[in-house]
Amino acid sequence: MDKNISRRTFLATGPLGLVSLRINGLAQTSGVISPQDMVLVNGKIYTMDASKRVVSQVVIRNGRFAAAGNNVAGQAGNLKRIDLKGKTVVPGIIDAHNHIVLVGNRPGWHVLMEDVFTVPDAIKRYQAKVAEVPRGEFITTVGPISAMQFAEQRLPNLSELDAIDRPVYMQAAQGGTQTNSAGKAWLEARGVMVAANGGIAGGGFAGGQTGAALALKLLREQMLTPAARTRNSLEALTYYARLGITTHLDNGAFQSDLPSGGVANENTYTMYNPFLELNAGNRLPARLRFNYLHQDPPDDPKLPTLSQRLKHSYPFFGNAWMKSGGIGEFTGGGVNGLRAIAAAGWRAEDHTLNLDSFRKLVEEREKVNAEIPIKNLHWVISHVPQTTDDLVNRFKAMGGGLLVGWGPLRTGMNVGPAYRTLFDNGIPLGYHSDGGDITAINPWLNFYTMITARNLKGDAVNAGQTLTRQEVLWLATAANKWFVREDDLGSIEAGNRADIAVLDRDFFSVPDEEIKHVQSVLTIVGGKVVHNAAVI
């Protein structure tokens, strides 16, 4: 299989007759794909329905599943028939909290490589991109990449990156920032210090005028055109569709009117534009839901931004491909903010990084819940590395839910989340990666950690807190219905939207280490073939 995602694979006319069109001469990656009716047979189809049936056949009509079972192909008449040859099929994966919108808005020709595990393969991935990239423009990877994913436990250095005939800029969630000689020359001419090995200091959440923060700011100022945003947004969604994700719930960015050096910063009012453009052209290869992130100060009852949002926007507004959600991953405004959100009847989500912040969030919600019940609003607390049974039960009593995942790059001992304890508690629990700026989006890297309690390096980081493969898949599919508030996603059953991933290997039986390498060979969203590796 071609390991490089490219427009060639995206536009290839595979056995399913994937149709592509060019619209108004837009970017080469333009492609409108129509839904197709079809019947899939001879699969090992994990439906994740209420009885968790595993069946062999599924019929897709008008973008939805018409039937799933062992003897339903007869209903399909003369529909296009796909022989899955025993492959494992799962419902399209739902990532209930990540930062895909930031990833779409990266400067340069953005290349994702969360499925690359050696430095030489990383170089090859970049080299495969060169032909598309005009001379002088940067090839970039900013955010969801880490030293830990590589066998070498480091990013490529300057001399290795010099094998790529374009300037390269890599800024990793973990493992630093690297460039090559062409990138070094460009950056040094603009005041960025680059070490002899291509390393650039600083970066991360910090803005500022030095090191990687300055480099990222310059790249955004000079290379982040509207066309780049649209191109990179489409590529990002297509890339993750190849890894089986069919629905992303984006959780925003830190607001910055101007191009910033902070990896998590963007203009939170305009960063959806490329996705809106793709949606308007029927070109989204995956579903996008998005929360609005707010950070009004807790001591200002006027809630300058949140009050306007609640007045002038609509929750759960849009179409089946792109739809608004609630407020998150920060609600801002403390109890005042939560009260306003509850009064408006919106969903709210905040994250915790330790036990103190989890306690504070639960207590604030109890205050608000005593005035305005939040029982049916599906309020969420995400990350939850540290929890107690008492606090979890109190949040559960209010009708809240927790999101876990968020683990593959973590280091230390017993760093949480307590996957097993939380799963067994019975509180609504779902899967999120939180990837895009500080960690990985690739679901299989996250699943590996949840199943083995090891980080990507292989270190045990979460003793005793493991889940089974079946449980993890359930969290990332059917359990996430609750978190996106859509009952017709996340399971393969008649009436639901036809979102599936046909896997390249059997997730349920491969050795643990191979879980990290799982990909989809055929991803279908709403009956549209959005990724087809042409191996079936």
Point out which residues bind Zn ion (CB under 5 A): 251, 329, 434
Residue 413, classified by CB atoms within 10 Å of its CB into exposed (0-12), middle (13-18) or buried (19+), is exposed
Measured from the CB atom, is 434 or 486 closer to Zn ion? 434
Cα(442)–Cα(456) distance, rounded to whole angstroms?
A: 12
Cα angle 460, 111, 278 (rounded to 5 degrees) comes to 115
Going by C-alpha positions, the residue among 424, 513, 411 that lies closest to residue 151 is: 513
Measured from the CB atom, is 329 or 499 closer to Zn ion? 329
The values of phi and psi at residue 315, to 5°, are -80, 150
Q: How far is the CB of 98 from Zn ion (least distance, A)?
A: 7
Measured from the CB atom, is 98 or 491 closer to Zn ion? 98
Q: How far is the CB of 251 from Zn ion (least distance, A)?
A: 5
Q: How many CB atoms lie within 10 A of CB 307?
A: 18
Residue recorded with tokens 């919108």: 101
Helix axes 355-371, 389-397, angle to 10 degrees: 30
Q: How many residues does the chain have?
A: 536
Measured from the CB atom, is 434 or 493 closer to Zn ion? 434
Both tokens assigned to 25: 């001469």
Q: How far is the CB of 87 from Zn ion (least distance, A)?
A: 33
- The answer to whether the beta carbons of residues 420 and 404 sit under 8 Å apart is no
Q: How far is the CB of 415 from Zn ion (least distance, A)?
A: 17
Q: How far is the CB of 252 from Zn ion (least distance, A)?
A: 8
Cα(403)–Cα(480) distance, rounded to whole angstroms?
A: 9
Q: How far is the CB of 456 from Zn ion (least distance, A)?
A: 19
Report how far Cα 29 is from the mean position of its chain's Cα atoms. Answer: 20
Residue 89, classified by CB atoms within 10 Å of its CB into exposed (0-12), middle (13-18) or buried (19+), is buried
The beta strand positions in 330-416, using DSSP E, are: 349-351, 380-382, 401-405
Report which residue's Cβ sits closest to Zn ion: 434
- The answer to whether the beta carbons of residues 79 and 62 sit under 8 Å apart is no
The SS3 call for residue 381 is: strand
Q: How far is the CB of 48 from Zn ion (least distance, A)?
A: 25
